[in-house]
Amino acid sequence: MNEIKIYHNPKCSNSRNALALLREHGYEPEVVLYLDAPPTRHELQDIIQATGVSARALMRSKEAIYAELGLDNPNLTEDALIDAMLAHPVLMNRPIVITPNGTRLCRPPELVLEILPTT
C-alpha cells in the first residue's frame, strides 16, 4: 500500500510543484486525479477532519460555480458545502496531500515538506 496520496490537478502549478517535491524526496505517491475520480463523501469528510479545518477552508472560492451556487453564504452548513464539493469537484482546493505524518492543503507546495515521512 502506498503511504502517500495526493489529490492532484495537473493544470495547477501548486499541485504540479507539490508532486515534484514529493518525487524529488524519493516518494512516488498515489496520484488521485480528483476531477475525474472525486472522493466519496466519507473520504472527503475524513480529509476535512484530518486537516483540522472547515469544508469552506478547502474550497476554491475563486471558481465561478462558487458564486453561482451562493457558497459565500456564511449560514451554509458543513454538509451543504461538502455536497457542493461532491457535485462540483472543481470546488476542491488542491493539492491535498495525505501522509502517515498528516494531511495538508499544500498551498504553497512547500507545506508538503512538513508532513513527509522520515526515513
Strand partners, 62: none
Catalytic residue among 5, 12, 83, 86: 12
Kindly state the helix (H) or strand (E) to which residue 98 belongs, with its residue range: strand 96-99
Determine the Cα–Cα distance for residues 119 and 116; give it in Å rounded to an integer: 9
Q: Give catalytic status of residue 106 as yes or no.
A: no
CB 92 within 8 A of CB 77: no
Strand partners, 8: 33
Amino acid at the residue 82: I
Active site positions, annotated: 12
